[in-house]
Chain A
Amino acid sequence: MSYIKCRDLKLGYDGEAVTEGLSFDVDEGDYLCIIGENGAGKSTLMKALMGLNKPMDGQIEFGDGITRQEIGYLPQNKDFQRDFPASVNEIVLSGTLSKLGWRPFYGRAERQVAENNMKKMEVWELRKKCYRELSGGQQQRVLLARALCAAGKLLLLDEPVTGLDYKVTCEFYGLLSELNRSGVSIVMVSHDLEEAIGHANKILQIGREQVFFGDKDDYLKSESWKSFHNHHVSHVHAGEASQCTPAGHISGHGAAKRAEEPVKHEAYDAGYKGGGGE
């Protein structure tokens, strides 16, 4: 039995289908990457998996000891509320809410879970800091810690690296792989083709309907990858491809770029830290 089993999903808004015919599974230990053009319904699919909107047709089943409440969700790095006053500790703790049941306040168990996950994500030192004063990478790690509090087995990520710089993106993907190796299943929507696919073991490509679902290795040999990849690279971010991790076996065309890239990003990073004072 899989964690998530989707059959013939049809998704859309206000009676208009965005995408249909989606059938795929997420098993224990999977790292599924969902790709597709803008407007292909990737975020809609995410929302459907979380139960935020109802599929127009088809079914989503949860199994293997997972319920919908046990899915950790990491939203896009939208700039929430710029002036929202919340400490790291408060945000991470809020991930344990579903475990409270009818109790109004957090107990020792919840605080322990939050502490463990903050330590795992290396934000424990920042726990008293205000969220809005953190750098983009730190903010994503805080949200990841919160997601882990909600669920230890399955994470849904919606374009988690949007707005992060190169170095931080690499660190973030490294963190995800580590989590995946420790047994957490990951479902991720991403624009960042090469990098995201590099870590995945399964790929789901969607358009008006399902284009591909299966193992990454099969996908990389398929026609759909070649056309999607070429289109994407030439039109969107040619040369942006990166290999900050063992993902290097996909393609090598980012190598030339790589030599100059880190310098630029370090400078950027330094500026970032300097700007966000205590």
Chain B
Amino acid sequence: MGVLETFRAYFSYPFVRYAFVVAVVMSLSASLLGVTLVLKRFSFIGDGLSHVAFGAMAIASVCGLINNNVIVLTLTVIAAVILLKTGSNTKVKGDAAIAVFSVGALAVGYFIMNVFSVSSNISGDVCSTLFGSTSLLTLSGTEVWFSIVLAIIVIVLFVILYNRIFAVTFDEDFANATGLNADRYNLIIAVLIAVVIVMGMNMVGSLLISALVIFPALAAMRLFGDYRSVVICSAVIAVVCAMTGMLISIILSTPVGATIVIADMLVFIIASVIKRA
């Protein structure tokens, strides 16, 4: 069977089409925020949040809630706000707070999953929550719409607030001095990051989601010197990598999340080489 027939066969299944769409919109919104995240030195918040989301997911699945996403989203947003507040507080080191949060959430999440789980395949559950191995292909219609709506909200908000996010990212003091409430925008950014991370967990799993957020941004920053080009380039890289990653994972039957992240990583390496040359 040729490659094209393989694709045609796969795409005749709705769940594959769902997964494809979700992968693209998700990567797109993650990459837009990624630029801000990297520039604001918030990369670790993204990483910490993904672990928190893992813990939240464990709690939600053990409680047997029908729609896990809502509770995971709520808990992760709360964690994002707390991390942001402690990060700006000079008395508690921000990175220490993040370490406490992420390691704590991981431990609690695994503990809960192990002790209270009703599932017969605990390590399978843990693995797919962490690496998103199969969950992308088991998305329901509702989950797909949930992701698409969230992604659209993130993208629209990013576009509307684009100029303000730039100002706050580049020079917070100046932004404050001209009457822009930087704290408010930092809060919005943190909440959006939480949303993206929860969405991405379904796709690549909680360990790999921060890669989706930072790799396209880092690659774009190697190639361009102005903010708008970097944002656009990082969006393009994210979408292209999400598509090729999906297709490759179909052909070679590799894990979807890991394949997409590896594609992003390759682009980053290529961009770094181009910059050196």
Binding site for B on A (CB under 8 A): 47, 50-52, 68-69, 71, 73, 75, 80-81, 83-87, 89-91, 93-95, 97-98, 100, 104-106, 128-130, 132-133, 146-147, 150, 156
Contact = CB atoms under 8 A, between A and B. Distances in A.
Tell me what chain A mostly uses at the interface: helix, strand, loop, or mixed: mixed
Given A81-B39, A98-B179, A87 B226 contact: yes
Contacts, number: 88
B277 interface: no
List 7 A-B pairs, minimum CB-CB distance, nearest first: A130-B225, A87-B226, A69-B179, A50-B177, A73-B177, A98-B178, A94-B167
B173 A75 contact: yes
Given A80-B171, A90-B226, A105 B180 contact: no
B170 interface: yes
B229 to A, nearest CB: 8
Contacts of A71: 177
Interface centre among A83, A129, A156 (most CB of B within 10 A): A83
A133 B225 contact: yes
Interface of B: 39, 159-164, 166-167, 170-171, 173-180, 221, 224-230
Contact of A85 (B159, B164, B180, B221): B221
A203 to B, nearest CB: 24
B170 A94 contact: yes
Given A50-B177, A75-B174, A104-B162, 7 more contacts: A50-B176, A80-B170, A85-B221, A87-B225, A93-B163, A98-B178, A100-B163
A216 B228 CA distance: 46
Contacts of A68: 177, 179
A47 B176 CA distance: 10
Contact of A104 (B160, B167, B171, B177): B160
Nearest to A91: B170
A94 B173 contact: no
A84 B39 contact: yes
A52 B230 CA distance: 30
A87 B225 CA distance: 7
Nearest to B159: A104
Nearest to A73: B177
A87 B227 CA distance: 7
Contact of A73 (B174, B224, B226, B230): B174
A91 B228 CA distance: 12
22 contacts: A50-B176, A73-B173, A73-B177, A80-B171, A83-B221, A85-B225, A87-B225, A89-B226, A90-B227, A90-B228, A93-B163, A94-B170, A95-B174, A95-B178, A97-B164, A97-B178, A100-B163, A104-B160, A105-B162, A132-B225, A146-B174, A147-B174
Nearest to B226: A87
B141 to A, nearest CB: 33
B161 A52 contact: no
Nearest to A81: B39
A206 to B, nearest CB: 20
Contacts of B178: 69, 73, 95, 97-98, 150
A150 to B, nearest CB: 5
A104 B166 CA distance: 12
B173 A52 contact: yes
A105 B39 contact: no
Contacts of B229: 85
B180 to A, nearest CB: 6
Given A98-B178, A98-B179, A150-B178, A90 B166 contact: yes
B227 A86 contact: yes
Interface centre among B178, B224, B228, B230 (most CB of A within 10 A): B178
Nearest to B178: A98
A149 to B, nearest CB: 9
A68 B175 CA distance: 12
B176 A51 contact: yes
Contacts of A105: 162-163
Nearest to B218: A83
A47 B174 CA distance: 10
A255 to B, nearest CB: 38
A73 B171 CA distance: 11
B89 to A, nearest CB: 12
A75 B171 contact: yes
Nearest to A104: B160
A32 to B, nearest CB: 17
Contacts of A94: 163, 166-167, 170-171, 174-175
Nearest to A87: B226
Contacts of A86: 166, 170, 226-227
